[in-house]
Amino acid sequence: MTNHKLKKLSAGWMCELCQQQWKKKPRAKCPGVVWYDNPNHLPSHLIEAEQLAAQNLKPKGNAIGCLKRSKNWVWLFDSSDVETIDPELPPIYTWNNRPKDLKTPNQLYRYNRKPGDNPHGCIRHEGDWLFLYRWEECPIDDESLPPYREYGTAPELKTRSQLKKENLVPRDDAKPRGFYRIWREEWKTVWLYHADDCDWEAPDNFLTKGTLRDRYLLSKSWIARLGEPDLIRENPHHKSWTPMQLYSRQRVERFLADHAEEYSQWLDERDRYVAIFSANREAIAQGHERYLEAKSKRKAQQQRCLRCASGCATRQGFLCAIYPMGLEDWQIPCDDFVARG
């Protein structure tokens, strides 16, 4: 700040340096260069230092103009009299026109890389340079992570949810063989596993008590030993019916595997029981057949007795002169049948 170089006008004073005019002598100091009070009407060759810096340029000479922005002086320079600040600076881009393969330091995190020595571009950001990198050329940030795998570039590696669809689950000690990161309000790391590091695991589904009895041949006391059901569901047939008690298939099968010896002994005993029952069932069925056969023979015999010379109908019913007490099963068909007339 300097003193105004005042010149008397007919209507007041003006300064030959800043070219302001006053009615009375001013008290404020002089900026020393032409002051433009309307920043929207600047001569086109004037430019601010920060605008030059954003192009990797700096003014060679001193300010030749100024303006005031929120009470601060902003100096203006001749845009035709400039020089390069940093000859090594990579190409300058904006957020919008930067090549897609160039990444900011924040974006490098996605690939587990940190900024290297070789930026391929830069963006002016808040008065400073933000450098842009090719992630493949940058040093690895966290050495403990497996390699970054661009989505879809390693079909042999799969996420947990993809593996689950194939009934595979990474073993507890399985190390992921790759990862990628997705943006969900923050970077989220998705681990990728190889099928060789997985165990086959049947999808969990839920079994009713009926299934436990019919398929796993479990008795009430075995079901009680399983403990509480894993799920209680409304009865699909009727809401007011007892809710269904459902047991996790994986848990049931794990329990039976843990008690394999006892379980196979139980199946063995149960088998014997089932075998005895089916043998009896056959005998019962055979007996039933014999009963039906006897019944139809007796009916046929009755027809013959009615036509037999030894029989006669009385008030007490049908009587046979030879067998007044009736025929035993073994006497049917009757050897003494003689047709009447």
The single residue among 18, 76, 138, 168 that binds Zn ion, judged by CB under 5 A, is 18
Answer yes or no whether residue 82 interacts with Zn ion by CB under 5 A: no
Answer yes or no whether residue 66 interacts with Zn ion by CB under 5 A: no
Answer yes or no whether residue 138 interacts with Zn ion by CB under 5 A: no
Is residue 333 within 8 Å of 293, Cβ to Cβ? no
Q: By CB under 5 A, which span of 2-10, 120-128, 190-198, 278-286 interacts with Zn ion?
A: 2-10
Strands 121-125 and 92-93, sheet pairing: parallel
Answer yes or no whether residue 15 interacts with Zn ion by CB under 5 A: yes
Answer yes or no whether residue 218 interacts with Zn ion by CB under 5 A: no
Q: Which two tokens stand for residue 280?
A: 């009896």
Answer yes or no whether residue 33 interacts with Zn ion by CB under 5 A: no
Which residue number, 65 or 311, has a Cβ lying nearer to Zn ion?
A: 65
The secondary structure element, H or E, covering residue 87 is: none
Answer yes or no whether residue 4 interacts with Zn ion by CB under 5 A: yes
**Cβ count within 10 A of residue 14:** 18
Is residue 177 within 8 Å of 197, Cβ to Cβ? yes
Nearest to 168 by CA among 123, 198, 135: 198
Answer yes or no whether residue 123 interacts with Zn ion by CB under 5 A: no
Q: By CB under 5 A, which span of 24-32, 91-99, 190-198, 235-243 interacts with Zn ion?
A: 24-32
The single residue among 17, 57, 319, 334 that binds Zn ion, judged by CB under 5 A, is 17
> What are residue 320's DSSP bridge partners?
311
**Can you tell me the distance from the alpha carbon of 175 to that of 157, in angstroms, rounded to the nearest whole number?**
12
Query: What are the CA-CA distances from residue 210 to residues 201, 206, 207, 308 (Å)?
Result: 24, 12, 8, 60
**Least distance from Zn ion to the Cβ atom of residue 17, Å:** 4
Which residue number, 15 or 66, has a Cβ lying nearer to Zn ion?
A: 15
Q: By CB under 5 A, which span of 22-30, 57-65, 285-293, 311-319 interacts with Zn ion?
A: 22-30
**Least distance from Zn ion to the Cβ atom of residue 129, Å:** 36
**Least distance from Zn ion to the Cβ atom of residue 21, Å:** 10
Residue 7, CA atoms < 13 Å, CB-side half-sphere:
9
Q: By CB under 5 A, which span of 30-38, 135-143, 183-191, 217-225 interacts with Zn ion?
A: 30-38
Answer yes or no whether residue 30 interacts with Zn ion by CB under 5 A: yes
Query: What are the CA-CA distances from residue 339 to residues 85, 320, 332 (Å)?
Result: 139, 13, 16
Determine the distance from the C-alpha atom of residue 94 to the mean position of all C-alpha atoms in its chain, rounded to a whole number: 36
Answer yes or no whether residue 130 interacts with Zn ion by CB under 5 A: no
Answer yes or no whether residue 14 interacts with Zn ion by CB under 5 A: no
Is residue 120 within 8 Å of 102, Cβ to Cβ? yes
Interface contacts to Zn ion, rule CB under 5 A: 4, 15, 17-18, 30
